[in-house]
Amino acid sequence: MNPEVTSVGDINVDIITTRLGDMPQRDSQVIAPRIALSSGGCAANFARATGKLGAKVRFIGKVGKDIFGNFLRDNLNEVDLRLLTGEKTGITIAITLEDNTRSFITYPGANSELKVEDIEFNLIDGKCLHIASFFLQGLRESTSEILDYAHDKEMITSFDTGWDPRGWSEEDTRLVKDILRKVDIFFPNISEGKAITGAKDEKEICKNLLDLGPEIIGLKRGKKGSYIATSDESYSIPPFRVKTVDTTGAGDVFDAAFIFGHLKNWDLRKTGRFANAAAALSTTGYGTERYPSEEDVKGLL
């Protein structure tokens, strides 16, 4: 398959609880009405969502030679998987609460073993390269090398750092800022944007991020929708109202749908609305079970 999009980064299984009233106290137990098992990891979620929308997508990542690795190979059938083998497959326990907030417990596993030396660069192909979950995989300083390769092939580059579990150290913030010089489209959420720039207002966050190098900022604001900005135009895109069940991975679906629209040369507002709608639809099921097709999104629009 000749991909339109290549995604590089983390892949794991997600063990997702239904909406709990509260977290269990220490030395106590709560009952979950349901627990779902799904493919996960920001880069793999992005790849699956892109495939569901109808684009040809390749994913490069690392899993273990274990039952969870087998599950992921069987589960991601919309994606051209190029999986390396590490020690153990990564696992995330996603705890979803009744107010739609979430808490995560993550074992990175083989994701932290993913190194630039593992990657066959000729597999990075298509119109766009997406790199995600910067802090949970082992590429880190080598991310720039991969972005340079993509630009040499005249590919668009997009980037989603994810949250830094260590709390955005000065070292990590500097590294992200250096990487952003080589990124065309950047997808932070509001907390990540504040951590990187120190700004509080979404307009100021986007302005500061654009000054670092990207041409487009897709700022994800959760229940408030998104804020899309370039140096010439900006739009506050309101959210779509749906019956939300689980928000795990919604930001990754936003990224995928935005890239999908961008590659179709839609204008910025149309692309942002499409991405918001796709993300909203993804929250109506657990994990990846409600990732939408292009027709699904158009139906909501």
Alpha-carbon distances of 201 from 166, 186, 193, 228, 278, rounded to whole Å: 24, 17, 10, 14, 25
pLDDT bracket for residue 201 (50, 70, 90): very high
State pLDDT tens for residues 250-276.
999 999 999 999 999 999 999 999 999
Average pLDDT over residues 18-27: 84
Name the token pair of 131.
């790199």
The one-letter amino acid code at 209 reads L
Residue 121 has pLDDT above 80, yes or no: yes
Task: Determine how many CB atoms are found less than 10 A away from the CB of residue 107.
Answer: 14
Query: Which range, of 42-46, 53-57, 84-88, 283-287, averages the lowest pLDDT?
Result: 283-287
Q: What pLDDT score was predicted for residue 224?
A: 94
List the chain domain ranges: 5-11+42-89+112-300
Q: What pLDDT score was predicted for residue 75?
A: 92
Provide the whole-model pTM. Answer: 0.95
pLDDT bracket for residue 240 (50, 70, 90): very high
Residue 100 has pLDDT above 80, yes or no: no
**How buried is residue 146: exposed, middle or buried, by Cβ count under 10 Å (0-12/13-18/19+)?**
buried
Q: What is the CATH number of domain 5-11+42-89+112-300?
A: 3.40.1190.20
Q: What pLDDT score was predicted for residue 174?
A: 94
DSSP-based three-state secondary structure for 62: strand
